[in-house]
């Protein structure tokens, strides 16, 4: 039985959204799940990746799926580039890689903070993506911000073997019932 290590979105914990229902639904498909809590405050993606690695190192990579939502998806990707998992599920992958930063909204950059934004400016998606060879699932809500959909579509071109899907009638929320159903149909 494979274990799914699930990383939430920025500044979220297990209770920020209905992650329990999402994880329970994943378990109905025959997986074990583990919610990975991260220390979001005063940290960058390098810290988040180190924290995920600490959890991941206790698991057999051949029996582990790295999954993440939004910034959690970025963190899962960085981790997968360093230590390949059995699969990688990227839910609403955030558009904050070096290639995306010129189009980042000023308000978004303000919200994430200058240190995080500075690090993202030096984080090329293509470099990370070239190191990931496991099966990949890319999911986004149909009503996401256009930049999230653009990032997903660019990732799909980089990984032609990836499964790409769109959850109908929802925006940036992996716990939305439509999003959850779309994810379940593809795992």
CATH number for position 133 = 3.40.50.1820
Q: What is the pLDDT along the chain (187 residues), one digit of tens a residue?
A: 999 999 999 999 999 999 999 999 999 999 999 999 999 999 999 999 999 999 999 999 999 999 999 999 999 999 999 999 999 999 999 999 999 999 988 888 888 999 999 999 999 999 999 999 999 999 999 999 999 999 999 999 999 999 999 999 999 999 999 999 999 999 9
* Cα(118)–Cα(167) distance, integer angstroms: 31
The Cβ of residue 179 has, within 10 Å, a number of other Cβ atoms equal to 27
Q: What's the pTM value of the predicted model, to 2 decimals?
A: 0.97
The Cβ of residue 68 has, within 10 Å, a number of other Cβ atoms equal to 31
Helix segments in 28-90, DSSP class H: 45-56, 71-82
Total structural domains within the chain: 1
Torsion of CA 53, 128, 144, 35, to 10 degrees: -10
For 19, the domain range is 3-186
């Amino acid at each position: 039985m494979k274990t799914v290590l699930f990383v939430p979105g920025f500044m979220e914990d297990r209770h920020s959204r209905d992650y329990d229902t999402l994880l329970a639904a994943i378990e109905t498909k025959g997986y074990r799940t583990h919610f990975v809590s991260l220390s979001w405050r005063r940290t960058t993606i390098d810290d988040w990746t180190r924290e995920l690695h600490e959890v991941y190192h206790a698991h057999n990579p051949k029996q582990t799926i790295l999954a993440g939502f939004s910034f959690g998806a970025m963190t899962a990707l960085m981790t997968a580039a360093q230590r390949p998992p059995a699969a990688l599920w990227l839910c609403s992958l955030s558009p904050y890689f070096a290639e995306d930063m010129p189009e980042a909204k000023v308000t978004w950059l303000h919200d994430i903070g200058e240190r995080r934004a500075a690090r993202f400016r030096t984080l090329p998606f293509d470099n990370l993506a070239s190191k990931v060879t496991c099966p990949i699932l890319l999911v986004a809500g149909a009503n996401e911000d256009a930049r999230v959909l653009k990032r997903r579509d660019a990732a799909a071109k980089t990984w032609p073997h990836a499964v790409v899907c769109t959850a109908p009638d929802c925006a940036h929320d992996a716990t939305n019932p439509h999003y959850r159903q779309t994810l379940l149909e593809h795992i």
